[in-house]
Amino acid sequence: MGAAKMETMNPLLDKRFVNAFVEGVVKTISLMAQLEVSTGKPAIDSQFKNKGEIAGMVGMVFGTMKGTMSISFQKDAIFTILESMLGEKHTEINDSVADAVGEITNQIYGTAKTTLNQMGYAFEMAIPSVIKGSFTISNHHNGATLVIPFHLTNGATFHI
């Protein structure tokens, strides 16, 4: 499949595209925090409303294809991940938690990007942003938003 065809298709309809991000999450959390992650049922959403108190976002560009990967953490999820990853207990969202969310976002995107590039996509490098508090991402496009929940063994949830 050539690059021109990939740019015109909807990547959310390509199971391999979606699985690159699912595998990116599972690998990153497993390697960085030694935690098991299970995947919930994906859903199409008209808008991505925050599903937690902190989120990492990274823009994705390949030719005419543009999108955003966002990972939104509930407090208990990110605190569990950080305690396992760093051995530090957190009780509030602060700059060190935000830094860790940025790094986790970067690792997930990097893992997915490697897989996608092997499939023929050529997404550019990007720097993640971190958002704290309540937010809604407004869509200024005709595309779709796919939301995938992930669950830790303690029941904590986060979403991409």
The pLDDT value recorded for residue 19 is 94
Cβ atoms within 10 A of the Cβ of 155, count? 9
pTM comes to 0.86
Pairing of strands 149-152, 37-39: antiparallel
* Residue 1 confidence (pLDDT): 41
Average pLDDT over residues 131-144: 71
Give the pLDDT confidence of 10-67 residue by residue, as tens digits: 666 678 888 999 999 999 999 999 999 999 999 887 666 667 899 999 988 888 778 8
Rounded-to-integer distance, Cα 52 and Cα 58, Å: 17
Q: List CB contacts of 68: < 8 A, sequence separation 6 or more.
A: 57, 58, 59, 60, 137
- The mean pLDDT value of the chain amounts to 86
Q: Tell me what the mean pLDDT of segment 88-116 comes to.
A: 95
